[in-house]
Structures are given as C-alpha cells and as structure tokens.
Amino acid sequence: MKHTKIYSGIAVLLCMQLSASAQTTQKLNLDKATVFIRGAELTSTAKIALSKGENEFVFTNVAGDVNNQSIVVSASNGAVVESVTFQNNYTNTDNLSPRVKELKDSIDLINARRQPIDNKIATLNEQILILQNNRKIGGNNNGMSVLELQKMLDLVSSKMEGYLNQKNKEEDNLKKIDERIANLNKQLEEEQKKEYQPGGQLLVKFFSKESTQSNIAITYIVTNAGWSPSYDVWADDVHSPIKFYYKANIFQNSGVKWNNVHLTISTGNPQEGMQAPVLNPWYLSFYTPRTLYQTPKLYRGRGEEVASDKNSSAWGLRNGNLYTVDGVQVQGNSGIDMAQGAVETMQVVATNNEGVNTSFDIELPYTIPSDGQQHLVAIKKYETPAIFEYYAAPKVDNDAFLLAKITNWQDLNLLPGQTNIFYEGTYVGQGYIDTRNTQDTMSISLGRDKKIVIKRERDKQLRSVKTIGTNVRESFAYNISVRNTRKESITLVLADQQPVSNDKDIVIEDRETNDASFDEATGMMKWPLTLKGNETKTLKFGYTLKYPKGKTIR
C-alpha cells in the first residue's frame, strides 16, 4: 500500500510536468498590413481552444524582423495574456526566399529523376557480371561440347554488347544530371548568402478561468518594409482635367508572405521617433578643415574619389551635392557625408513625409511576397482642373513644352515621386513631382510639341566689337522667331536671359528687352505670347559688354 502511494505521487508529478510543458502550435492568419513610408504594422488573428488554467501556444507565420516593444496580443472571452516571447524560426521552409525555394524544388525534382538511372546502371552491372561469370564457367567446363560452347559465346557476345552500350548511355545521362545539380547547388549557395529575413514565432501563455474558445488578435511592427509613391498622369487634351493615378511601390522582406491581405497605405513613419526635439546652447568655434588620408581602398565615380579606412566609415568628396560611394551616387547637403549611412539610405526607397499623415485603404486584397522587390499597388484616382500653356527656353532647347499648371495640388495628398506622363492617349515620358520645392502652383510637363517651331539666332549685322582707349565694347543682338503651325490658338511663355556682372570691371550697357518682363538681379526675361493658328512672331533683344582690353569674357 505504501508503494502504491509513492507510485501515485510520481504519476501525478509527471502529469503536472507534462501539463506544464505541453505546447500547442497554431498558424496565424495574416489579415492586414498597414504599410508606412518605412516599416509596416501587421495584424494576424487565430481562434484557439483554451482549457481551464494555464495554456501555452506557439504561433507560427510570424515575421522575423519584429520590433519586440510593438507586440500587442489580445484575447476574448476573459482569457488573460500572461507573457509573450518572440523567437526566430530558421527551420520553417515557408519563409524561404522565393528564389531559394525554386532552386531547392528544382534540385529535388532532378534528384528524383536521377535515382531511376542509378538503379538502371546497377541492374546492368549485375547482368554484365552474370555474363562474365557464365563465360568463366563455360571456359572451365571441359566436358562442354563445341556446339554448347559456341552457343554460350554467341549469348555473351549478343547480350554483353547491348548491356555495355546501354550502360554507357545511362552513365552519360547521369553525368549531365550531376552537372545540372552541381550548377543549381552553386546558385543556391549564392542565393542563400543574400540577406533574406527568416520568419519567426511567438510563444504566448494564456490563463483562463474555464474552458472556452477565444479569438486572438496579434499586431506588431516590422522594419524591413515600406513603400514609395509613383504616379500616372493623364491629360486627354488641353480642355480636360488632369487625371492622377496614385500608385505605391511596396516592398517587404519581413520573413513572412503577405498572402491576400488587406492593405492600408500610410504616409506616416513610425521610425521617425516620437520625442520632441530639445535645443542645446550653440557655441561658436573656429573651423578646422578635415583632412582625408588616402588608404588602399579607393572608390571612383564621375571624377570624384572616396577614400576609406578599413576601421572606419568611408568619406565622400563633394561633387556639387552628389557623392559616389561603391559606385552609388548619394545626395547630401554638407561638404562631406558619412558614406556608410548614405549607402544604407540608398538600399531602400525613402520618401520624406510632409504635413498630416494620410492613409489609403486598398479595397482589393493583395499578395506581397517576402522578397525585397517592389510590387505596384493602385491606390487612388484623382481628377483636378489645370491651366495649360506652352513654355520655351530656346537658348537651351528649341522645342516648346506643354505645361499643365495645378493650383489646388495640396488637396491631392501627393508625396515626392516619379511620374509617367500620358498626353492624348500616348506615353510621352517620365517626370518627377517635387512637393518639397513647389509653391502655390505645380507645373507638370506634358512633353514637347513639334508643331510649335522656334528658332533663335544671333544677329550678325548688329554684332560689333570696338576698342575705345583701354576698354573693349562688344555688342550682342539676337532674334527669336516663334511659329504656331497648329490650327488653334496657343499661349506660350518664352524665356531667355541676359548676362549679369559680379565684377566692377565688366559693365553691361544698352540693354534691349523687347518689352519682356526683366529681372535685373538674375537677367531673366519672359514674354507671354498668344499666337493664332499658323501665326509667326519675332522677338529681338540685345546688350553691350564693356571690359578691359586683353581680357576674355566667359
């Protein structure tokens, strides 16, 4: 009786340990993704059965680059969430990159085709071995008649040749398959070196006062995702509104496939930080130029050089405001940028956020694989009135460009992004919307109009060069002709310029602007013109330069 109590106590203890360590594995359903400029919030759900007391669940189909502080788990029917632990899952093949999965599947398929060939060669070897043994037996059997010996030799001759030929053929097939597998393995090795994010899993402990069903919702933030805007801009004609087709180039490498999820596109960026800035005292000091030392590692691009120390970040030498690091051009505002941070910025598509955050709910479900590639998603269509006019600067380009001017562009919730321009149903090229440098009116170029013929020439008759004392007086005169070969009237802004002097020894005199609006500070001239169908207008302007003899103006 005493032993029975001991055994019963051990059994109860084992049952308690098994109950405490028991885990239920369940796959989450990824339902929603809110994609920010940089990062995304994922929402997953599951329905679980809870027993009375403590329950432990391992939830799979979780992203790998989870911000642990952002994880929120909620449960219905009175279930209490006791703890949440995130773990990376390197064994889940569902989270492999699409290319790695494709290569592994190909290798498995070819290996499956290889096995029957191996078996065929093994069978042929056995058949050849039997013939060889029979030949030895026939040779050692002194009692075999000549006729029987001849039959044996004929059998060996006819069968052996066929077996050997078939074996050679199968070995050639096997060699080709092995070469193909070797090449696929090399490619697989290269793909696995790429930084594809592994998936993860969540270990969650629940407590329930009674057995019940509970609906679970889990949200968290991932960093390796985001989107950038692009636009299709359509203008049917100069009398119709402009149509904007707002699109998002979404990328994600979170380690989990977004399969038929509800997408929300947000102009927010949770990685910008929520802490308000603090101004510290600004102490002035004398500037000492930083010295760059040439090291063995040197990058080159478009005439500039970047040197780096193996123990520090690379430095970029300024070329305007462009820097080249590892063959990548990076834009910066200072004379020297830390190249490491700049290259990291170029690895993702970044867009500055302006004003109040805006969200767009996408009606159709989308599937976005975890491959780091951009996937185009349509967001919204806008229509807005525009004023159409032509613009030309023949000093730079003799063609006239049709511009659509939009005054209410702030209502369109636009971000800086690439545009694809369509005019009269035809693709005319690409442009860029820069909302950061646009004031009251946004101008969108709709391309060149070859039916407006512009010609800019220097008037040789009015050209003169005279030397008066120690100075040279050089006169310049230009003629610009504009012809509208269209049947309808057009309005055109014609722009040109005159030089501006920053040297007291260079004097500009006798300016002729032909009634253009003229900015003396910049030398810019503009003529607003209206041309009827098949009408031609000619404009003239000129100026005289006075400068010291023996000097060359540039």
Tokens at 472, concatenated: 């040279």
Residue 298 has pLDDT above 50, yes or no: no
Give kind and range of the element (H or E) at residue 4: helix 2-21
Would you say how long the chain is, in residues? 554
pLDDT at 335 over 50: no
pLDDT tens-digit series, residues 376-421: 998 888 889 999 999 999 999 999 999 999 888 887 878 888 899 9
**Who has greater pLDDT, 173 or 129?**
173
Which residue, among 30, 435, 413, 28, has the nearest Cα to 248 in the 3D structure?
413
Q: Quick check: 60 pLDDT over 50?
A: yes
Question: Tokens 């260079």 sit at which residue?
Answer: 506
Phi and psi at residue 407, to the nearest 5° = -100, -25
Q: What is the pLDDT of residue 343?
A: 31
Beta strands in 172-279 (DSSP E): 199-208, 212-235, 242-252, 258-266
Confidence at residue 155, expressed as pLDDT on a 0 to 100 scale: 63
Cα 449 from chain centroid (whole Å): 33
Query: 337-345 — which CB contacts under 8 Å span 24+ positions?
Result: 338/313, 338/314, 339/306, 339/308, 339/313, 339/314, 339/315, 340/313, 340/314, 341/313, 342/316
In this prediction, residue 504 carries a pLDDT of: 87
pLDDT at residue 3 in the model: 44
Residue the block writes with tokens 């149509």: 243
Predicted local distance difference test score (pLDDT) of residue 44: 95
Cα–Cα distance for residue pair 501/512, rounded to 1 Å? 16
For the residues of 102-118, what is the DSSP string, one character each?
Answer: HHHHHHHHHHHHHHHHH
Is residue 467 a contact partner of residue 506, using CB atoms and an 8 Å limit?
no
Mean pLDDT of 501-511: 89
Q: What angle do CA 365, 366, 367 make, to 5 degrees?
A: 135
pLDDT at 492 over 70: yes
Question: Quick one: pLDDT at residue 401?
Answer: 92
Tell me what pLDDT residue 56 has: 94
Global confidence as pTM: 0.59
- Measured CA distances, 306 to 318, 326, 330, 338, 377 (Å): 9, 9, 12, 11, 38
Asked if pLDDT for residue 253 goes beyond 60, the answer is: yes
Q: What is the pLDDT averaged over residues 124-144?
A: 62
Assess whether pLDDT exceeds 50 at residue 295: no
Q: Per-residue pLDDT tens for 355-378? A: 457 788 888 899 998 888 899 998
What pLDDT shows up at residue 237?
Answer: 86
The pLDDT value recorded for residue 158 is: 65
Nearest to 233 by CA among 384, 130, 40, 415: 384
Residue extents of the structural domains in the chain: 98-193, 453-548
* Amino acid symbol at 459: D
In the chain, the amino acid numbered 505 is D
Q: How far apart are CA 287 and CA 300, in angstroms?
A: 28
Give the mean pLDDT of 441-460: 90
Q: How far apart are CA 441 and CA 233, in angstroms?
A: 16
CB atoms inside a 10 Å sphere around CB 538: 11
Residues 6 or more apart in contact with residue 363 via CB below 8 angstroms = none
**pLDDT for position 310:** 36
Q: How far apart are the first and last CA of the chain?
A: 114
Q: Check residues 180 and 534 and name the one with the higher pLDDT.
A: 534
HSE, side-chain direction, 13 A CA sphere, residue 365: 8
Higher-pLDDT residue of 408 and 536 is 536
Give the model's pLDDT for residue 199: 79
Answer for the pair 199, 62: CB distance below 8 angstroms, yes or no.
yes
Q: Is the pLDDT of residue 458 over 70?
A: yes
Q: Which two tokens stand for residue 155?
A: 């059998």
pLDDT of residue 251: 92
pLDDT band at 151 (very low <50, low <70, confident <90, very high): low
| Residue 359: predicted pLDDT | 84
Mean pLDDT of 196-200: 72
- Please give the Cα distance from 168 to 128 (Å, whole number): 13
Alpha-carbon torsion (483, 488, 489, 495), positive or negative: negative
How much of the chain exceeds pLDDT 70, in percent? 73
pLDDT of residue 45: 95
